[in-house]
Amino acid sequence: MGIKAIDRHPSGRTSVDSVSDLWAVTPSDDEDMAYVSRALLVTVEGDFRLLMASGADVTVPLTEGWHPMRVSRVFLTGTTGECFAGD
């Protein structure tokens, strides 16, 4: 069984503060990130196949820059861009 992302903002609570943690994302088809993100910082634009905190599996095109998104996993298959995640 793969790693399950920890949600540091449970019960739907969100924060308007800037991110306090930032990590490079290694896309994986099998494992979630260590934490659910509050935002993705895209450094190379492209398509991103994402597992959202809600459990939805979506593929979206993202440009370079900040994207406020609650993401558990960035899949390897279907992802052509590169990003960091923040919480």
**What is the per-residue pLDDT across 6-50, written as a single tens digit (0 to 9) for each?**
666 655 555 566 788 899 999 999 999 999 999 999 999 999 999
Please state the pTM of the whole predicted model.
0.83
Q: How far apart are the first and last CA of the chain?
A: 24
pLDDT of 57 > 60? The answer is: yes
Q: Which of 42, 47, 29, 40 is nearest to 71 (CA)?
A: 40
Span 82-86, mean pLDDT?
95
Q: What phi, psi does 3 have (nearest 5°)?
A: -70, 140
Going from N- to C-terminal start, the domains of the chain cover 22-86
Lowest mean pLDDT among 9-13, 33-37, 71-75, 81-85: 9-13
Token reading at 70: 């609650």
Residue 1 pLDDT: 54
